[in-house]
């Protein structure tokens, strides 16, 4: 993102920018300045680029979180399946032992 450093023409203080109203004002002397057309276009373009970049970053973070949740679920599912398989194997082994004792 391209940053603009704007100084007050009256007192040379750093101007604060009100992007909603596209004005700059000096917190030191109170002077307000309207942006010219070229500055407005540049600022609006930079604001839109920043918004798109933030939205893309948010989508990527959500995708990463979703993938992590899916991986965690798959690990849990595998562990559960292994536990069930060992439990069934143990039960079958116990049944064979009981049959051997009875016969």
CA distances from residue 80 to 19, 43, 62 in whole angstroms, order as listed: 54, 55, 27
Would you list the DSSP string of 10-30? TT-PBPEEETTTTEEE-TTT-
- Write out pLDDT tens, residues 54-78: 999 999 999 999 999 999 998 888 8
Q: How confident is the model at residue 44 (pLDDT cuts 50, 70, 90)?
A: confident
pLDDT at 36 over 80: no
Q: Per DSSP, what are the bridge partners of residue 40?
A: none
pLDDT at 38 over 80: no
């Amino acid at each position: 993102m391209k940053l603009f450093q704007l100084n007050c023409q009256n007192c040379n203080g750093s101007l604060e920018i009100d992007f909603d109203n596209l004005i700059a004002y000096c917190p030191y002397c109170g002077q307000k300045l309207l942006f010219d057309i070229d500055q407005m276009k540049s600022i609006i373009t930079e604001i839109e680029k920043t918004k798109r970049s933030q939205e893309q970053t948010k989508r990527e973070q959500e995708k990463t979180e979703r993938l992590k949740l899916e991986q965690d679920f798959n690990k849990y599912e595998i562990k559960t399946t292994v536990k069930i398989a060992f439990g069934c194997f143990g039960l079958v082994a116990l049944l064979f032992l009981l049959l051997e004792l009875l016969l």
